[in-house]
């Protein structure tokens, strides 16, 4: 009997857009008080999406910018809740979705490690035990007491990945964030992902690089303008994606 890490059933996601831009909640309320007509328009980011990801699979989500990939990742991670439909996940999720997500940019790398550990439910004793492992993997010994706001995007990605993979997650979600790292660190991340996959972790990868998908994933789905276009093996989906990439 198949076991699933993620089950997505008839999921749609809509966002409300104001036709007249209001710079924040305060301005929005002022416009309402003044009786100015703010017409709400709806943007449908995902349209009735359904597919399953088996436990232990290495699964890619492909699509051009604005296709709905990041929205789908946030739904799987529990950051968003679908407008309709249902998402079921099984196990501990480690999401690497947005650069700097979960960091307080005014705090140092050291402080952010302990902050993220607390958010993940780890006590100080646990983080003390693994602190050196995180810094060693991210190669940030020279910057451990530097505020993260002074880090390059690659340094932030290295720190985020090292924290996210501190313990073996059941589901590892990796957005194209790792593309900002240098070739050496990208290779380290690939090796770490392979190690986690060998241990049973389900990998969900978003990438514009068909080579990355080919190298790291067995199965894939292609989403275009919020619609599911193709699901199958990575090879099948890549072929269809390339053939229709101008859609």
Residue indicated by tokens 């292609």: 222
Q: What is the mean pLDDT of residues 175-186?
A: 74
Q: Does 222 have pLDDT greater than 90?
A: yes
Percent of the chain past pLDDT 70, that is, above it, reads 86
Tell me, what's the pLDDT at 90? 96
Question: In the chain, what are the domain boundaries?
Answer: 4-12+50-243
Structure pTM? 0.82
Tell me, what's the pLDDT at 199? 93
Angle formed by the axes of helices 153-164 and 124-138, nearest 10°: 130
Label residues 220-245 b or e (16+ Cβ within 10 Å = b). bbbbbebbbbbbeebeebbebbeeee
**pLDDT band at residue 136, thresholds of 50, 70 and 90?**
very high
Inter-residue contact 176 to 145 (CB < 8 Å): no
* Dihedral (CA of 101, 152, 176, 41) sign: positive
Q: Mean pLDDT in the chain?
A: 87
**pLDDT band at residue 127, thresholds of 50, 70 and 90?**
very high
- Topology of the domain comprising 4-12+50-243: Rossmann fold (3.40.50)
* Structural tokens at position 125: 């004793």
The 3-state secondary structure of 146-211 reads CEHHHCCHHHHHHHHHHHHCCCCCCEEEECHHHHHCCHHHHHHHHHHHHHHHHCCCEEEEECCCHH
């Amino acid at each position: 009997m198949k076991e699933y890490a993620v089950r997505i059933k008839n999921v749609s996601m809509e966002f409300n857009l104001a036709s007249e831009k209001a710079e924040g909640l305060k301005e929005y309320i002022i416009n309402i008080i003044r009786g100015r007509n703010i017409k709400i328009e709806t943007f449908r980011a995902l349209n009735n999406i359904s597919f399953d990801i088996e436990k232990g699979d290495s699964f890619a989500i492909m699509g051009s910018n604005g296709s709905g990939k990041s929205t789908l990742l946030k739904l799987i991670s529990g950051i968003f809740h679908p407008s309709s439909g249902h998402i079921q996940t099984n196990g501990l999720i480690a999401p690497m979705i947005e650069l700097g997500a979960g960091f307080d940019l005014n705090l140092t790398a050291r402080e952010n490690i302990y902050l993220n550990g607390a958010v993940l439910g780890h006590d100080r004793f646990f983080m003390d035990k693994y602190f050196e492992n995180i810094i060693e993997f991210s190669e940030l010994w020279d910057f451990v007491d530097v505020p993260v706001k002074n880090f390059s995007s690659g340094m932030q990605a290295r720190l985020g990945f090292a924290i996210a993979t501190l313990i073996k997650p059941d589901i590892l979600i990796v957005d194209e964030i790792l593309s900002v790292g240098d070739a050496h660190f990208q290779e380290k991340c690939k090796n770490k992902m392979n190690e986690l996959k060998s241990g049973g972790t389900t990998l969900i990868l978003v990438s514009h690089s068909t080579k990355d998908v080919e190298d790291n994933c067995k199965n894939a789905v292609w989403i275009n303008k919020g619609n599911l276009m193709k699901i199958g093996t990575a090879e099948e989906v890549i072929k269809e994606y390339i053939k229709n990439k101008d859609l």
